Chains A and B, each alone.
Chain A
Amino acid sequence: MEKKEQVFSKHMTGKNTREHLDRFNDMLKGMMAPGELKSGPLEGLEVVEVGNANFPGMICAAMLGEMGASVIKIEPPGGDTAREATYSGIYLNGAGIPFVMESRNKRLVTADLDNASDMNRVSELISNSEVVIDAMPPGYLDMHGAGYRQLSKTNPSIVYAALAPYGHFTSKARNGRHIPDTDLTAQAESGYPALTGNPDAPEPYNFPLRAGIWTAAYTSAAVAVAGILTALLFKISTGRGQMVDVATYDALSTWQAFSLVWGFTNEEPRQRIGNFDWCLFPYGYYKAKDGYVTVAAASDSDFRGLLKILGRWDLEDDWRHLFDRIADDPHRLSELEQEIKKEVAKHTRRELFDKTFAYGAKAARDKLRSKGFPIVVETRTPQEAAREKHWEIRNSFSHIETKETGIITLPSLPPRMSETPSKINFLTTALGADNAIMQDIE
């Protein structure tokens, strides 16, 4: 960002330390570059995804594939209906944007599971694989003779992961087995929209608010990947496989469990408080002269720094402690919010950034006491975010050219791993592109 690289900790100053950190940075650049000789951590792992209209299952398989597993996706002869979901009417060779994005490193096979001979081949294929991802309605594969109950008899070391809205066990799983997965309904059942939105806006803008990215679908998928890998480690030490069950309407609220904590300790729900936070203030979005900025200056020392930068030390007396600035009374806190809004609006985004970062760098050198670091950055749109050179150096995006899609961009799967980098090798959306796999099965 800056001509001279700034550090924000007194522990990271000093000539020797800086030289060490620079060497470490250079070493990592080399170590993390995806070389031709390196393969992903799951190289050789055989995975079969069987699913329809189930994005968490698709994403889960895509993540395993990007980490080097060999993934075959089985979809109905007319195609997985997840292909239909898309933005702005864009379809690439019969696949919407989310389907394209989650088809990385997958071989696509069609099969009619209601046809006995197709089903036999599918059974054969999945019973010989190490991981099965069941993204069909609960009980569907079991009914067709290829559920965990049957597969575990012929292949006791199989890891069988099931992803369904209410999971594959409990009475609710049974009653809700025909309910399909969508990210929005999964967010809702996880209580997530109840935490967002402006309660003072007119209807319907005061309703609980959907998170603008697929928070539930992606969390469910990642949790399933972690469950599968945990089961594989257990298999390595014991030889035993097992069933992994993820309820896609539940994973978000169980992994990101602060709702449960609040519910247990308060025995009532939180009320929506707009862009306030339940723990921290200031911690939100503000409008500067030329656009939005994000302010995070919640600790007492950070807050004092912010007041100095904004020239509003007069506010310090009334709002000194974090506990003065909590949102238990949002209307009272709005008084402080209005003052900060007023001051932020006087500056450009760049001015605020420069001032706070100069303050942070200087404060970090203070040996005596913590002067804090109030952070103000641009609240970026994706277009603004993408411009950063940083992502290019880190290969945060992959660009891949296919016959069907032209050159498209996909966000790479983090983390970066020094010995076994993840990599997007190929992508196809063509229906039955790899059906030859099935023909080889007797």
Chain B
Amino acid sequence: MPQDYFDYTGNLFDPGKISEKPEALKDLKVLDLTRVIFGPMVGKWFALFGAEVIKIEQPDEGDDWRTGTYMGKYWKESCPYFQSLNPNKYFIAIDLKKEEGKELVKELAKQSDVVIENFRAGLIEAWGLGYSTISKINPKIIYISCSGYGQYGPLRYFPSYDLIAQSMSGVARLTGYSEDDTYKLPDYFGDFFPAILGAVGVLAALYNRSKTGKGQYIDMAQTEALMRAMHQWTAQSTGCEELGPTGNSDPTMVPSGIFKTKDDRYIAIAVATQAQFCALCDAMGKQNLTENPDYAQTEKRLKKDNADVLNRIVADWVKEQTESEIIDVARQKGFAAAPVMDDWRLVSDPWRKERGSVIDFEDDMYGHGLWAGPAASLSESPGRIKHLTRPIGYHNRYILKEKLEFSEAHIQSLEDKGVIGYWDNRVGKRPPSYTDMNTDPIFNYKRGKEE
């Protein structure tokens, strides 16, 4: 009798063994010149899977998102969003507007495999740290620029944020009930989704470089990522009517919607196939629907009038059930149903903790917290969190001494000239007040230990 499959996989992915396993991208060196969400999230993928990611910030100011918190709230004098975007990175602060600062970035770029930047398009080129410069000093570099519309083409200098990208790509008008009642995709989908495709581009370029030895330039546009996730273009090219907002029902699946249960929970149900429809009807005790010529085939069911009737039938059924009753019967019969989770249920979900999607983590500087793990679980070289973020310039000494072998005197002269720098006194930029930076071994790395 072979071992039960889920016992086998449970052992394969055992979260207790993650720290003993190797890291997938261990020897990879990434220079991260990013801020806010889009660029930092590209770097986060590499940082979670073991690459050495050095994040370069402007002295005093740092990444804008250090203070970009929700409703003005901080966690241990830091922005918790910023924490979740930048774990495992090294934080150094170099003034990119000074010539010596640029030289320092170039020195680091010479040793790097990947450079990630998300300044507005053209800006880093104008500063002399763009691909055209870095590829000359390190021809094997994989250099990714992240922007709203890409680095070439007439819209390239056009400004962008998540929401502007949603608007310029046409996503903006698709969520909601009617032309006059549409909503943005929340929590900056226009940054997060482009970021994962950016990471894909870099990983694919690294794969290619391992075969050919060649580096390259990668031009990642927010708008194009959003457009890749839209069905409208293909639909319209087949003569389909314009596809606008359709509220809670997915127009490709009938029945589908978000419904309210007897115990005042919300639950999503969607039926993609004929087999799933039979399973749902079976669960509802309405097997006769599967024989009705209006609903017997998916093609018929998808018609608007039939969809409306079926969605009402499902809504009435859900009203008489509790959330857990529906989930139980969905598991038994095999149709898609899921509770509408919320922030608190997500982070306290035992399943997500068991998966490693929510990690209970104890950080040297910030203490205990619950943080997002890697979105993909790898059995042999899993991702992990090793430390949270650090104040601006925290790793200056560590990186300059370890990676560039600078002397203490050299570092002090860079400090005196303002080429490298540290936090200013705003919350989110500076260390938490309960810490003593004078005795911090990393911040003072090998200070006074030489000549």
Q: Which residues 90-148 of A sit at the B interface, judged by CB distance below 8 A?
A: 90-92, 96-98, 100-101, 138-139, 142-143, 147-148
Q: How far is the CA of A235 from the CA of B201 in the complex (A)?
A: 18
Measured between beta carbons, the chain A residues less than 8 angstroms from B333 are: 178
14 more A-B residue pairs beyond the given contacts A40-B204, A86-B302, A419-B208, with a C-beta to C-beta distance below 8 A: A88-B243, A101-B231, A175-B331, A193-B340, A225-B200, A233-B206, A234-B24, A263-B345, A283-B161, A294-B163, A326-B71, A381-B173, A394-B150, A407-B237
CB distance from B429 to the nearest CB of A (A): 16
Q: A9-B120, A285-B172, A388-B155 are in contact. Are A258 and B81 (CB under 8 A)?
A: yes
Q: A182-B270, A261-B80 are in contact. Are A209 and B193 (CB under 8 A)?
A: no
- What are 10 contact pairs spanning A and B, CB under 8 A? A53-B275, A89-B303, A214-B231, A219-B375, A256-B193, A258-B84, A260-B347, A382-B174, A415-B218, A419-B216
Measured between beta carbons, the chain A residues less than 8 angstroms from B248 are: 193, 204, 207, 209-210
**Does residue A411 face the partner (Cβ distance < 8 Å to B)?**
yes
B159 touches A28 (CB 8 A): no
Measured between beta carbons, the chain A residues less than 8 angstroms from B70 are: 262, 278-279, 326
Measured between beta carbons, the chain B residues less than 8 angstroms from A171 are: 6, 351, 354
A385 touches B197 (CB 8 A): no
Q: How far is the CA of A86 from the CA of B10 in the complex (A)?
A: 36
Among B80, B192, B207, B235, which residue has its beta carbon within 8 angstroms of that of A97?
Answer: B235
How many contacts A-B (CB < 8 Å)? 637
Q: A42-B204, A84-B273, A97-B235 are in contact. Are A254 and B331 (CB under 8 A)?
A: no
Q: How far is the CA of A326 from the CA of B183 in the complex (A)?
A: 18
Chain A residue nearest to B226 in the complex (CB): A213
A193 touches B192 (CB 8 A): no
0/1 interface trace, chain A 172-208, chain B, CB 8 Å (1 if under) = 1111101111111111111111111110000111011
Q: How far is the CA of A388 from the CA of B233 in the complex (A)?
A: 14
A41 touches B357 (CB 8 A): no
B376 touches A6 (CB 8 A): no
**Does residue A47 face the partner (Cβ distance < 8 Å to B)?**
no
Q: Which residues 320-355 of A sit at the B interface, judged by CB distance below 8 A?
A: 322-323, 326-328
B149 touches A253 (CB 8 A): no
Q: How far is the CA of A98 from the CA of B232 in the complex (A)?
A: 10
User: At the interface with chain A, which of B99-107, B121-129, B403-411, B434-442?
Assistant: B121-129
**Does residue A265 face the partner (Cβ distance < 8 Å to B)?**
yes
Q: Which residues 183-197 of B sit at the A interface, judged by CB distance below 8 A?
A: 183-189, 192-194, 196-197
Q: How far is the CA of A169 from the CA of B11 in the complex (A)?
A: 9
A250 touches B272 (CB 8 A): no
B130 touches A24 (CB 8 A): yes
CB distance from B317 to the nearest CB of A (A): 15
0/1 interface trace, chain B 262-288, chain A, CB 8 Å (1 if under) = 000011111111111000000000000
A263 touches B169 (CB 8 A): no
**Does residue B25 face the partner (Cβ distance < 8 Å to A)?**
yes
A28 touches B152 (CB 8 A): yes
**Does residue A303 face the partner (Cβ distance < 8 Å to B)?**
no
Q: A87-B231, A259-B347 are in contact. Are A178 and B379 (CB under 8 A)?
A: no
Q: How far is the CA of A441 from the CA of B9 in the complex (A)?
A: 30
**Does residue A237 face the partner (Cβ distance < 8 Å to B)?**
yes
B125 touches A21 (CB 8 A): yes
Q: A229-B203, A419-B208 are in contact. Are A245 and B224 (CB under 8 A)?
A: no
Q: How far is the CA of A132 from the CA of B172 in the complex (A)?
A: 36
Among B185, B197, B208, which residue has its beta carbon within 8 angstroms of that of A211?
Answer: B185
Measured between beta carbons, the chain A residues less than 8 angstroms from B332 are: 178
Measured between beta carbons, the chain A residues less than 8 angstroms from B144 are: 415
